[in-house]
Amino acid sequence: MNKRWRNIGLGALLVLAIVVIAPAFFGGAGNPQPEARSLRYSDFVERVQEDQISRVLLSPDRGTAQIVETDGRRAEVNLAPDKDLLKLLTDHNVDIAVQPSRQPGAWQQAASSLIFPLLLLGGLFFLFRRAQSGGGGGNQAMNFGKSKARVQMEPSTQTTFGDVAGVEGAKLELTEVVDFLKNPDRFTAVGATIPKGVLLVGPPGTGKTLLAKAVAGEASVPFFSISGSEFVEMFVGVGASRVRDLFEQAKKNAPCIIFIDEIDAVGRQRGAGMGGGNDEREQTLNQLLTEMDGFEGNTGIIIVAATNRPDVLDSALMRPGRFDRQVTVDRPDYAGRLQILGVHARGKTLSKDVDLDKVARRTPGYTGADLANLLNEAAILAARRDLSEVSNDEISDAIERVMAGPEKKDSVMSDRRKRLVAYHEAGHALVGALMPDYDPVQKISIIPRGNAGGLTFFTPSEERMESGLYSRTYLQNQMAVALGGRVAEEIVYGEDEVTTGASNDLQQVASTARQMITRFGMSDKLGPVALGRSQGGMFLGRDIAAERDFSEDTAATIDEEVSDLVALAYRRATKVLVDNRAVLEELADMLVDQETVDAEEFQELLIRSDVRIAEYV
């Protein structure tokens, strides 16, 4: 049948080609002209002057002419651009005529006007026939409503749970899913039912998609993977159609796993639109809710989804029966980071002096993606320096590069600016070292990085970062340390010579003080009260806009309390630096000479100096 229609189409194209092309070849065949000889222009003019030419037939463009001599012979001549030619012909009584432009016939004009419609109709007819037959590339035009999920009947991602480290809790949850698919009798024997959906929640880079790849590698069942954004198109109803098609395919291959990456693209809360909530994304979500737990069950289909924005997901999507479990894939702790570094160090040549344990302790708060990028940057630095192994120096430089950007070693700094930056960073480091219960100084540098003229690196407490609990004392110390650079400039150069280098520090201090008063209830006058509710619309800035729920008098009190906290931090930083001015000068001299001072050198300086440590209030 297909061959028959193909022959018909080819025949139609052949007829069309004959209709269009034939006139171009045979349009003048009905009036053949006798063959004429060629004549040079000079001979032509000479014969006109001798009255041997009786008739001249000029071409429409006046480029050539057919001539008839008095004895009846014919000839052709190429005319020169001679403005006196017509006068010459008229003076010698030559009959002059001009050939008319050849106009296509009525039937040719009609054929020309039908070319585009015929081609359009023929192309559409061809596409429809191919779509009905279900084969060929033309079928893609009719597959808007088909699911774009990648199907792996025998998953071969080459990733297993052995390649995933630092997220043991999440691995345990997903291992149960894989075990149920492999050995369902073990669970059904005690009346247990496996969760229909598992939602992986966590910050970017913590390994949610990597866990899904590991599930695909471990499971011996068909695996469907798709992104949330692939459901939504500009055409109405396409998203819902793709959801239906995805689950129809999954039902045919059950038991199976469906992985939806970035589900927040399609699963956002409904009712936030301005047109009554009947938009394409909401219809897609409605269809997804129905397929996951609607009138008809989907036995044997397990859905694994990932997002870093669980707060924007619709409540109907999060209820038991759809996503029964929420697995938090958080930033790894020290042990997790050590395992992740071991995984990513497999393909890299590390020198014997590299201690991954120290690297793990220096990188609190890093995600799996951050650690992978860290070791890759270290390997790139080693290759750039023509080294055969990655040493501690490359790893240390990579950590600082990831945290603050690349060094600007080629930048030219005047001696005055260099010493000013040295005093500024020495102020930060000295206040941080002498504040009780604060993070230890790791490194001090006056080499510009990114937008910063210099940097003081502190080693955050592992316990504080994991728990997220910061005491009032720690926050007050943090503000004092941030003001240490500005205070050092004032002590050394005077208040009239301070610079704008502390602008970021001042913003940090103001933000910390305001959060202590309005969010953490650390105000003596207002007490343990949280002020300012974040109740903006879902898509109208809820995360950045806060509703004011207090009076003008309370607002004035907040401003007063913020000013008091900043003033207290300023006094504490000033007292530390004034009492230890000699240490400040010596540390600044070391920075000017060496550009960097590490933790060991800084500790030696504090030990041999007469450092005054007291309760700075």
Catalytic residues: 425
DSSP result, 266-288: T-BPSS-SSSSS-SHHHHHHHHH
List Cβ neighbours of 432 (8 Å cut-off, separation of 6 or more).
438, 439, 441, 456, 458, 477, 481, 484
Is residue 5 a contact partner of residue 133, using CB atoms and an 8 Å limit?
no
CA R_g for the chain: 41
How many CA atoms, within 13 angstroms, populate the side-chain half-sphere of residue 87? 3
Q: Could you tell me the two tokens for 113?
A: 């006007």
The 596-598 sheet, strands edge to edge: 455-458, 441-445, 596-598
Number of C-beta neighbours around residue 101 at 10 A: 8
Q: 317-335: buried (b, 16+ CB within 10 Å) or exposed (e) per residue?
A: beeeebbbbebebbbbeee
User: Is residue 138 within 8 Å of 131, Cβ to Cβ?
Assistant: yes
Residues facing residue 387 across a β-bridge: none
Contacts of residue 310, Cβ cutoff 8 Å, sequence gap at least 6: 199, 201, 264, 318, 326
Q: Could you tell me if 443 and 599 are in contact, meaning their C-beta atoms sit under 8 angstroms apart?
A: yes
Give me 432's structure tokens: 């941080």
- My answer on whether omega of the bond before 436 falls inside 30° of 0, hence cis, is no
Q: In one letter, which amino acid is 105?
A: G
Q: For residue 566, what are its two tokens? A: 């900043």
Cβ-based burial of 126 (10 A; exposed 0-12, middle 13-18, buried ≥19): middle
Distance CA 425, CA 449 (A): 13
Tell me which DSSP letter residue 255 carries.
Answer: S
